[in-house]
Chain A
Amino acid sequence: ETGVTQSPTHLIKTRGQQVTLRCSSQSGHNTVSWYQQALGQGPQFIFQYYREEENGRGNFPPRFSGLQFPNYSSELNVNALELDDSALYLCASSLDGTHGYTFGSGTRLTVV
């Protein structure tokens, strides 16, 4: 079975720009979550999608938005990038939340 894959692995953006990060869930998983991990910190929950609908959101502003597609892949969009958005963004998938979440290797975003 394939795991969770994220693209791109690294990217550099300028403050004020917009970025889209992509995630392909593990086969058979219908739930996808996104986390932000700043340097030296634990991951922080951004939001979660369950069967294409957002069903949970952490303490992140509306400029962080997302989508889940019918094949359960997902996108994270961030508008008006700020320097503090520089972090590792992790995608995780699960089947109904059972058996835990499988994480991808992440996308390292640098905002300059």
Chain B
Amino acid sequence: AQSVTQPDIHITVSEGASLELRCNYSYGATPYLFWYVQSPGQGLQLLLKYFSGDTLVQGIKGFEAEFKRSQSSFNLRKPSVHWSDAAEYFCAVGAPYSGAGSYQLTFGKGTKLSVIP
């Protein structure tokens, strides 16, 4: 069965500083990988996804992530954090169903990001 580990429960950065959120996954084949963001009391918004191809993925709001198969990692990065980025971030792995064209998502426990003005 697949699993996702987000080692950092809470990260605090200063506005304008760079950000890296860590994600490690366990899955027997090439996974589908995702990062979602959740503001308090809200649903999840997709930041970016990796299905195949180029291992450096660009997303919305200036975020990017790099898939490293050898390290089973999919870390999220942003060069300059804005106060509005404060939220909870979830990494997820998708396990495809054979022939159905769909998959279930397994999420990590999330990393809460706080931004200091």
Contacts and interface: CB of A to CB of B under 8 A. Distances in A.
Chain A interface residue count: which class?
20 to 34
Given A43-B90, A100-B46, A103-B43, A33 B105 contact: yes
Contacts of B45: 103
A92 B107 CA distance: 14
A56 B97 contact: yes
Main SS at interface, chain B: strand
Interface of A: 4, 31, 33, 35, 40-45, 48, 50, 55-56, 58, 90, 92, 94, 96-106, 108
29 contacts: A4-B43, A35-B105, A40-B109, A41-B109, A42-B4, A42-B108, A42-B109, A44-B107, A45-B105, A48-B102, A50-B100, A55-B100, A55-B102, A56-B100, A90-B44, A92-B44, A94-B102, A96-B102, A97-B100, A97-B101, A97-B103, A98-B101, A102-B46, A103-B44, A103-B45, A103-B46, A104-B43, A106-B43, A108-B41
Interface of B: 4, 34, 36, 41-46, 49, 90, 92, 94, 96-97, 100-110
Closest 8 A/B residue pairs (Cβ): A42-B107, A97-B102, A96-B101, A103-B44, A103-B43, A105-B43, A45-B104, A100-B49
